[in-house]
Amino acid sequence: MPSLEEAQKEIIEEFSEAADWEERYQMLIEIGDELPPLSSNLKTEDRLVPGCQSRVWVVPEEKEGKLFIQADSDSAITKGMIALLLRVFSGRTRDEIRSASLDFLKEIGLDKHLSMSRRNGLYSMVNKIRSF
């Protein structure tokens, strides 16, 4: 498993290959398509991320001091965003998650190219993960 910094670097490198934002949105959709579906019995109200325009479920499980996270969304782009967050956060300790820099989000341009509601949703997902 790559370090937290390496995982973020990999994402930055992947997105730097995209020619424009249309291609980056397509990448987000494809990344979300690779996320394993969440079982319907795990899609409960208490697992929903508040503040998201789309429905996003986040399910944590702690094993040997590390937090492993499953997630799903009913929106393709949002599913891609949560998939990126899982690549960075899942399998980390609570301290790593709390102290992780989110500079990769700015470096790939998500903070500038998402609508205000999607950007708020993205940071709501981060806050939900950090709350575990």
Cα(12)–Cα(59) distance, rounded to whole angstroms? 26
List the catalytic residue out of 52, 56, 105, 126: 52
Give the whole-angstrom CA distance, residue 111 versus residue 125. Answer: 14
Q: Is 105 a catalytic residue?
A: no
As a dihedral over the C-alpha atoms of residue 127, residue 47, residue 67, residue 104, rounded to 10 degrees, the angle is -40
Give all strands (DSSP E) within 19-117, no chain letters: 56-63, 66-73
What sign for the dihedral angle of Cα 41, 60, 119, 7? negative
User: How far, in Å, are 39, 53, 86, 92, 99 from residue 130 at the CA level?
Assistant: 22, 19, 12, 11, 9
User: What amino acid positions are annotated as catalytic residues?
Assistant: 52
